[in-house]
Amino acid sequence: MRLTPGAAADVDFGRLDLFDLDLYTTGDPHSVWDVMRMKAPLHRQVLPDGRTFWSVTRYDDVCRVLGDHREFTSERGTVVTHLGVDDVAAGKLLTSTDPPRHTQVRRAIGAMLTARAVAAWEDPIRRAVVRFLEPALDGDVFDLAERALLLPAMVTGPLLGIPERDWAELVELTAMVTAPSDPHFQHGNQAATLAIAHHELLSYVTEWVKRRRSHGGDQESLLDHLMSVRAGGAPLTDEEIALDGYSILLGANVTTPHTVSGTVHALIERPEQFAKAQADPTLVPNLVEEGLRWTSAACNFMRYAVRDTHIAGGTIPAGGAAVAWIGSANRDESQFPDPHTFDVTRTAAKRQVAFGYGPHFCIGAPLARLTLRVFFSELLQRFASIGLAGEPQHLRSYFIAGMTHLPVVAQNRKTP
């Protein structure tokens, strides 16, 4: 998705199609959301097949939809690609469960993903990042977006307990789930792509658990942890383990790479910001927050209204699908003055909601933040400059904002 908007858009709300995939590949969604925040903060769209959804685009409304399960439930599904199809994993998969069950399971799983717990992984993460950047050191063209798809597997694979030989396949499957209409990942049509990937990923985790139960293992990985936790006094069922393992794989694989490529692209387009961050390494944590805000890789999440709910000057009827556009909230001028400026010193950047808001706030945020901080500190230490070596290509998805290609050439800092 284009992250720097062009000229102000002239939006015909009667014809606006937020599911038009061209909007995210060749169009300019930010200029559309700017107008929505101003003139239509609650927008209703009916798809040709009759499915209907309501969009909220302002920061406060996005936080309210994501943050209050008594008004907006997660139990019928939260991903827009499944709009109108009730989630069969409701109440079993962490993301599709409301409190109080959600709180019990989340507390148990989250113990291994706190900032304190993940700090112990900094050294292996740094080694993985250094290995990741090595091919760029020789000054050849390096497709950062393509290669970045492998980064979470290099970082999280060992933490999850997944052997290296399986990474490439899992990365492909998770990309199919999140961008089932992108020609890079599509098999047949969107529905078939989703069904194949969903089935394969769930089978992978189920088989992994079965093997571990019969052969044992080092018992220290995140998947082992899922097998041993107790939530509400009982262990997770095999189905819950498979579903939550699947969800962690997905969460880890699909978002961090696009945050990396979108932020690097922003720095390429603004060499003065690159220089500023390089001159002062203490800016790296803020650069990461600004990069998260800027890219908003998970562009939206969905809920369903529990009852008729008044919001943003209108009403979402009971059972209506509410899509919270995170990408728009992170450019809301009421929170982020001059929102379309990428500024590594922006102090408000930490208010970004790229990880969501409320009970479902990203459980992997400490790991993602650590990975991104290590990544950008290593990148800035190694390269004097980075330039574009071809046109970026945007991911064909209205759910994940990202790139499929970002050819770059980096100049080694030590080279005279």
Interface with ligand HEM by CB under 6 A: which residues? 66, 74, 78, 94-95, 106, 156, 247-248, 251-252, 255-256, 259, 297-298, 301, 326, 354-356, 360, 362-364, 367-368
Report the nearest approach of ligand HEM to the CB of residue 97 (Å): 7
Closer of 125 and 252 to ligand HEM (Cβ) = 252
Report the nearest approach of ligand HEM to the CB of residue 185 (Å): 19
Report the nearest approach of ligand HEM to the CB of residue 386 (Å): 20
Report the nearest approach of ligand HEM to the CB of residue 155 (Å): 8
C-alpha–C-alpha distance, residues 129 and 118, integer Å: 16
Which residues make Cβ contacts (< 8 Å) with residue 377, sequence separation at least 6? Answer: 281, 284
Closer of 36 and 108 to ligand HEM (Cβ) = 108
Report the nearest approach of ligand HEM to the CB of residue 144 (Å): 15
Task: Produce one character per residue of 333-366: b if its CB has 16 or more CB atoms within 10 Å, e if not.
Answer: eebbeebeebbbebeebeebbbbbbebbebbbbb
Question: Cα dihedral sign for 218, 222, 227, 229?
Answer: positive
Closer of 41 and 77 to ligand HEM (Cβ) = 77
Neighbours of 60 (CB within 10 A): 15
Closer of 256 and 273 to ligand HEM (Cβ) = 256
Which residues make Cβ contacts (< 8 Å) with residue 109, sequence separation at least 6? Answer: 94, 225, 226, 229, 244, 363
C-alpha–C-alpha distance, residues 38 and 57, integer Å: 9
Using alpha carbons, select from 359, 360, 339 the residue that is nearest to residue 348: 339
C-alpha–C-alpha distance, residues 236 and 413, integer Å: 50
Report the nearest approach of ligand HEM to the CB of residue 39 (Å): 26
Closer of 127 and 187 to ligand HEM (Cβ) = 127
**Residue least distant from ligand HEM (Cβ):** 364
CA distances from 411 to 108, 385, 416 (A): 45, 5, 10
Closer of 9 and 57 to ligand HEM (Cβ) = 57
Report the nearest approach of ligand HEM to the CB of residue 349 (Å): 14
Closer of 122 and 140 to ligand HEM (Cβ) = 122
φ/ψ (deg, to 5) at 352: -60, 150
Closer of 32 and 62 to ligand HEM (Cβ) = 62
Look up residue 276 and give its amino acid: K
Radius of gyration of the chain from its Cα atoms, rounded to whole angstroms = 21
Report the nearest approach of ligand HEM to the CB of residue 181 (Å): 20
Closer of 360 and 394 to ligand HEM (Cβ) = 360
Task: Produce one character per residue of 146-174: b if its CB has 16 or more CB atoms within 10 Å, e if not.
Answer: bbbbbbbbbbbbbbbbbeeeebeebbebb
Using alpha carbons, select from 373, 348, 382 the residue that is nearest to residue 278: 382
Closer of 9 and 375 to ligand HEM (Cβ) = 375
C-alpha–C-alpha distance, residues 311 and 42, integer Å: 7
Neighbours of 211 (CB within 10 A): 11
Report the nearest approach of ligand HEM to the CB of residue 7 (Å): 28
Q: Report yes or no: 396 and 136 within 8 Å, Cβ to Cβ.
A: no
Report the nearest approach of ligand HEM to the CB of residue 67 (Å): 8
C-alpha–C-alpha distance, residues 48 and 294, integer Å: 32
Report the nearest approach of ligand HEM to the CB of residue 413 (Å): 26
Cα 331 off chain centre by: 16
C-alpha–C-alpha distance, residues 117 and 268, integer Å: 33
Closer of 83 and 362 to ligand HEM (Cβ) = 362
